[in-house]
Amino acid sequence: MAKFRVMFTCLLLVVLMVSGCSSGSSSNDKMKTLTLWYWNRSLDDKLINLIQTQFPGIRINAQKIGGDFKSKLKTTLAAGSGGPDIVAFNDWVTELFPSSDRFYDMYDLGAKDVENDYLDWKWQLGVTPEGKMIALPIDTGPTALFYRADLFEQAGLPSAPEEVHKLMGTWDDYFAGGKKLQDALGNKVKFTDNIGNIYTQINAQSDKIYFDKNENFIGEDPSSSMKTAWDLAVKASQMGLLANASTFSSEWNAAANNGRIASFVGAVWCKEILMQSAPDTAGKWRVARAPGGDGNNGGSFLAIMKTSQHPQEAFDVIKWVQNPENQVTSFKDINLFPSAKKALDSDVMQQKEDFFGGQATGEIFTESARHVKPSYFGTKYANLNGIVGRELSSVAIEGKNPEKAWNDALARVKKELLR
Amino acid sequence: MGEPLQKRTHLDPGSSMQLPERKRGLASEIWKHRKEYLAISPFYILFAIFGLFPIVFSMYLSFHKWDGIGEMTFNGLNNYQFMVTDPEFWKAVGNTLLIWVYSTIPMLFFALIVAFLLNATFVRFRTFFRIGYFLPNVTSLVAVAIVFSTLFSNNYGLLNYLFSLFGISPVEWLNKTWGIQLAVSMMVIWRWVGYNAIIYLAGLQSIPTVLYEAAKIDGASGVQSFFRITIPNLRPIILFTVITSTIGGMQIFTESQVLVGNDGGVSGGGLTIVLYLYREAFVNNYFGYGSAVGWGMFILIALFSIFNWRMVQGGGAKDE
């Protein structure tokens, strides 16, 4: 009896282990199963459900990966197996360029045929310096100036989007307008949110930031926007235009809702955040083209892992999900701002929004999306941005000497590049 | 008596002639007790997979450069060298020690008082209070950090609202190094006072009442018996709580991360060692370096625990 129990326990353990490792193989041989990893709201769930009807021979196994998506993807890549066929990337796509051999080059699968359907700058973000196309665009995050029309009016500034853009076409003019607004409204209102956002947005409008395509550091080159962005961000701080509320913190939400922030430059997806965090200001916000030019923040991609058994099918599915019509559907369903040119021309972009006083902000954002400059971010973009951001917040909040902060940032960046 | 002796000679390491036989002996011993070994094996198997392997692997990793996906390249002691020359690492060490001091001393002090009160006969509903004091410890840390972030919020926080009622100008807590450290320490204190109080309470209850009675007969006051009886008898328990709070205090992470983000807030006031490790490994993708920081932290904790042990135990040695 005792022996039987021991045997039984061992058997149970083995069964549990084996069943834990197998990946639910299906009995139907004709169906090809494609596993998809994405995170909540990175793709339209309704469209994913339609894949099966669109491709009768394909069974889609869509898995919403919660928590730290990037870490899980990296763990899977490190393990070398057990990954999905199709995987979503966020704007950290460049971090994966050194491992581009782990993904299919979609140029080999027919991506050239659809290249012209998409915004060129967005498409280029998924192409490695060696010319491999590893990530196909999902959505974009074109930037624009969000501002409080009522506060602008009170301060004697223009409040219509075209006029605002005419007056505040450059960052210097934008800051001058801010000075005027704060002088008129007293100390209660700050013109914009924080120093890091100004720095990030100016770089987002540029085509040369930290690295060239060979991963050489170009931050000290006059063509790079790094120093310009730094100087302008410091200038805004010295003019006292900043509320020093870090982006989308509870502090920021409260400040936006209480009318303490009069404007900020942000991506199209800030609309939803703003609507949720500042409901008391509904109808008072407007959107204009950003000072200094158009830029992009964020936006995701789809890629095919080298471990996939059905790369061609995977590519066909991706191509279909991200075709212009389906991008319009995704925009209607969950506000994914399109990366396909034709989708930008759609009527849904002309819809008026009550939160923005009846303005059709889609007109501004589509224009912005069309004019973003192609840029190469480099694998260490986020690391460098973190270093500079830390020094900038020391300048804005603790009053660190900007000259010293710049030198410290540069020294730290150079140390980082040697790692 | 005969059998153990025989066994000892059997396993005598001096006689190399018996080596093969000894091996066979050990194997047959294990085989003889295979059921027992099998019964205790799940723990050791799981520990080997989820405990031992990661520890050994992180040691291996700390001598390599690895971005988490690509090739690992051996780079000797470079990670350790970078660590000891990185001012941010030492800032993180300093912050961690400061937060540890700010939190542990008041925490253990309050815990002792709470335990003493819970042990006193005049307190009613003692079980209710015991549960009440322990509850913070089982509360989700992220939820706690979010609540504290609204308390300490710069402009719209509850604390600043209270200040405004009394005409005190608001303090931008989370824009100052000390403010961030205070907020993190408060979280630690709030969360761990009850836990340590329960441990002290167990210690208090194990002190024989005859000691107090004898002291009372000899005319000792309450304060005297607290310092002459309670504290000396609690010394091993206090040592235990100091060491566990040192180990815990050196590993503060979630509080800072949720409160002020991956960079530790303004000028990195909330950048603790683990937050620094997390940022370097999982945000900046230096997994080898992260492992090296982990081992650096291990050494620091070990040194610190020895130091604490000497401190707390050193006083006790005299009495014995």
**Closest chain A CA to residue B259:** A249
Comparing alpha-carbon positions, the chain A residue that sits nearest to B70 is: A99
Q: Same structural domain for residues B127 and B233?
A: yes
DSSP secondary structure code for residue A245 in this structure = P
- CA-CA distance, B141 to A75, in Å (whole number)? 26
User: What pLDDT band is residue B283 in, cutting at 50, 70 and 90?
Assistant: confident
Whether B178 and B255 map to the same domain: the answer is yes
- pLDDT 10s digits, B25-34: 888 888 888 8
| Whether residue B129 sits in one domain with residue B274 | yes
Domain boundary pick from B77, B112, B140: B77
Best residue of B46, B262, B266, B278 to probe chain A, by most A CBs closer than 10 Å: B266
pLDDT at B42: 93
User: What integer pLDDT is reported at residue B1 of this predicted model?
Assistant: 38
Same domain for B229 and B130: yes
| Identity of residue A171 | W
Q: Is A206 touching B (CB cutoff 8 A)?
A: no
Which is more confident, B283 or A270? Answer: A270
User: What's the CA gap between A85 and A109, in Å, rounded?
Assistant: 14
Confidence grade of residue B315 (pLDDT, cut at 50, 70, 90)? low
- The CATH architecture one would assign to domain A143-295+356-417 is 3-Layer(aba) Sandwich (3.40)
User: Which pLDDT score is estimated for B253?
Assistant: 93
Q: Judge if B196 and B48 occupy the same domain.
A: no
- Domain end among B77, B99, B134: B77
Same domain, B272 and B175: yes
One domain for residues B39 and B167: no
CB nearest to B156's CB, from A246, A254, A383 = A254
The full 3-state SS of chain B, as one line of letters, equals: CHHHHHHHHHCCCCCHHHHHHHHHHHHHHHHHCHHHHHHHHHHHHHHHHHHHHHHHHHHHHCCEECCCCCCCEECCCHHHHHHHHCHHHHHHHHHHHHHHHHHHHHHHHHHHHHHHHHHCCCCCCHHHHHHHHHHHHHCCHHHHHHHHHHHCCCCCCHHHHHHHHCCCCCCCHHHCHHHHHHHHHHHHHHHHHHHHHHHHHHHHHCCCHHHHHHHHHCCCCHHHHHHHHHHHHHHHHHHHHHHHHHHHHHCCCHHHHHHHCCCCCHHHCCCCHHHHHHHHHHHCCCHHHHHHHHHHHHHHHHHHHHHHHHHHHHHHHHHC
Beta-carbon separation of B284 and A254 below 8 A: no
Among A75, A255, A398, beta carbon nearest to B155: A255
B97 and B33 share one domain: no
- The class that CATH gives domain A32-140+298-345 is alpha beta
Shared domain for B44 and B132, answered yes or no, is: no
Residue A246 pLDDT: 87
Residue B246 sits in a domain whose CATH number is 1.10.3720.10
Digitized pLDDT (tens) for each residue of chain A, 419 residues in all: 556 666 666 556 555 555 544 444 444 567 899 999 999 999 999 999 999 999 999 999 999 998 789 888 988 888 888 889 999 999 999 989 988 999 999 999 999 999 999 999 999 999 999 999 999 999 999 999 999 999 999 999 999 999 999 999 999 999 999 999 999 998 789 999 999 999 999 999 999 999 999 999 999 999 999 999 999 999 999 999 999 988 888 889 989 999 999 999 999 999 999 999 999 999 999 999 999 999 999 999 999 999 999 999 999 999 999 999 999 999 999 999 999 999 999 999 999 999 999 999 999 999 999 999 999 999 899 999 999 999 999 999 989 999 999 999 999 999 999 88
Instruction: Answer yes or no: do B152 and B285 share one domain.
Output: yes
Around B244, how many Cα atoms within 13 Å sit in the side-chain half-sphere? 13
Shortest Cα–Cα distance, B99 to chain A (Å)? 21
**Higher pLDDT, residue A13 or B24:** B24
Per residue in B102-146, pLDDT (tens digit) is 999 999 999 998 998 888 777 788 888 888 889 999 989 889 988
Question: How many domains does chain B contain in total?
Answer: 2
Domain residues for the domain of B272 are: 81-319
Query: According to the model, what pLDDT value does residue B5 have?
Result: 43
Q: Are residues B171 and B298 in the same domain?
A: yes
Subunit contact A254:B153, Cβ cutoff 8 A = yes
Question: Domain ends where: B77, B97, B131?
Answer: B77
Residue ranges of chain A assigned to CATH 3.40.190.10: 32-140+298-345, 143-295+356-417
pLDDT of residue A138: 96
> Which residue in the set A254, A400, A419 is minimally distant from B155, CB to CB?
A254
Q: Are residues B107 and B47 in the same domain?
A: no
- Summarised one tens digit per residue, pLDDT across range A201-242 is 999 999 999 999 999 999 999 999 999 999 999 999 999 999
The two structure tokens encoding residue B215: 């002291």
